[in-house]
Structure 1
Amino acid sequence: MRLFRSSELLGIARETMEFTLEACEATHPNEYMGFLRAEDASKLGLDRTGQVITDVLVIPGTESSPVSASVRSHMKPNDMRSVGSVHSHPNGVLQPSDADLATFGQGQVHIIVGAPYGWGDWKVFDNDGRQTTLEVLDIELPEEHFFDFTQAEIDAELAAEGRLDEADRDDRH
């Protein structure tokens, strides 16, 4: 197991970009805001060294209006998988504003998606606001199992802690 991942960003998974476009459209006429997270390419079956954007993390308490979106920075996790941000411009302008540039300090890439939120309605920028490119990759994302345990395992743990007696356990099965 490698302790450090390659920082080279290979691209964004098509499924992740589709989610992003749909989320931006669903939030219209307000701005959408999220943080981009990447996974090591080797975990995705790619025979390349680097990272692929696979997730968009939305921070609880994000406030948005037709002209801005703000995140409560104390709610943003210190996430090693974070590689940048994504937000929408409901007015369709695909250039970073001064306010955008002020937030571009963290991560490698920043995606701006503009109305009407189609495949040609997004651009990628680096931390300095210079336009760059990001390849859309046709890869299969692994299914994540947030609840990767069974009821029997929960019952066994509760019983071991003395919080579930045998009668309760029998009623559940």
Structure 2
Amino acid sequence: MGLFDRLFQRQGVVGIARDTIDFALESADDTHPNEYMGMLRGTPAKHLGMDQRGYVITDILVIPGTRSNPVSATVDSNMIPNDMRSLGSIHSHPNGVLRPSDEDLGTFTSGTVHVIMGAPYGRNDWRAFDQHGEYRDLPVLDVDLEDHEEFFDFTQADIDAELRRDK
């Protein structure tokens, strides 16, 4: 465990939420034949009612300005949030190969989990790797995730009130 992890008591990743990996596989299929790319974020397992330490991967952030084609995806690293919930990356290989390329290994420097999904993007068409490109176990967990739809539930009056608060 590095100094940063010890200082902030960062815990390991205990798994990925089933809804999260299902969302990622569906997104990769929708993006096919281009690569899909996102960043993994987590929620403390205790916040999900689990009796263990560590994080569960619950969110995938698609970074603004991400460009992709059938052989690569490029993310503007300045747009990637750097916080305690950032756990790694996820991307697809439209050719179906479930192992990191040399280019992938060069991007595995941030985070501890990197997921590669391969066509045809079925439930078992993905693998997790550590920052060195070594396979790692990543259990799929059936956890209840919060519904974030209320985030988009606002009116013009709510916007006006927020703008007045900022002045």
* TM-score using structure 1 length: 0.83
Q: CA deviation at 1:115?
A: 0.3
Q: Hey, what does 1:46 align to over in structure 2? A: 50
Q: CA deviation at 1:78?
A: 2.0
Instruction: Identify if the C-alpha distance between structure 1 residues 39 and 5 changes in structure 2 by more than 3 Å, giving closer, same or farther.
Output: farther
Q: CA deviation at 1:79?
A: 2.6
Q: Hey, what does 2:91 align to over in structure 1? A: 87
Q: Hey, what does 2:39 align to over in structure 1? A: 35
Q: Hey, what does 2:3 align to over in structure 1? A: none
Secondary structure of 1:146 counterpart? helix
Secondary structure of 1:10 counterpart? strand
Equivalent residue for 1:133, pick from 128, 137, 157: 137
Q: CA deviation at 1:146?
A: 2.2
- Aligned pairs for 1:47-62 (under 5 A) are 47-62=51-66
Q: Hey, what does 2:23 align to over in structure 1? A: 19
Is the CA contact (8 Å cut-off) linking 1:5 and 1:50 kept in structure 2? no
Q: CA deviation at 1:75?
A: 1.4
Q: What is the Cα-based RMSD across aligned positions, in Å?
A: 2.3
Instruction: Identify if the C-alpha distance between structure 1 residues 43 and 97 changes in structure 2 by more than 3 Å, giving closer, same or farther.
Output: same
Task: Report % sequence identity.
Answer: 61
**Mean Cα displacement is larger for which, 40-49 or 82-91?**
40-49
Cα distance between partner residues in 1 of 2:163 and 2:92: 45
Secondary structure of 2:42 counterpart? strand
Cα distance between partner residues in 1 of 2:72 and 2:165: 50
Is the CA contact (8 Å cut-off) linking 1:111 and 1:125 kept in structure 2? yes
Is the CA contact (8 Å cut-off) linking 1:6 and 1:49 kept in structure 2? no
Secondary structure of 1:42 counterpart? helix
Paired amino acid for 2:77? S
Cα distance between partner residues in 2 of 1:103 and 1:157: 38
Cα distance between partner residues in 2 of 1:44 and 1:130: 28
Secondary structure of 1:74 counterpart? helix
* TM-score using structure 2 length: 0.86
**Mean Cα displacement is larger for which, 143-152 or 54-63?**
143-152
Secondary structure of 2:46 counterpart? helix
Matched, 1:112 2:116: yes
Unpaired stretches in structure 2, ≥5 consecutive residues? 1-6
User: How many residue pairs end up in the alignment?
Assistant: 160
Q: CA deviation at 1:96?
A: 0.4
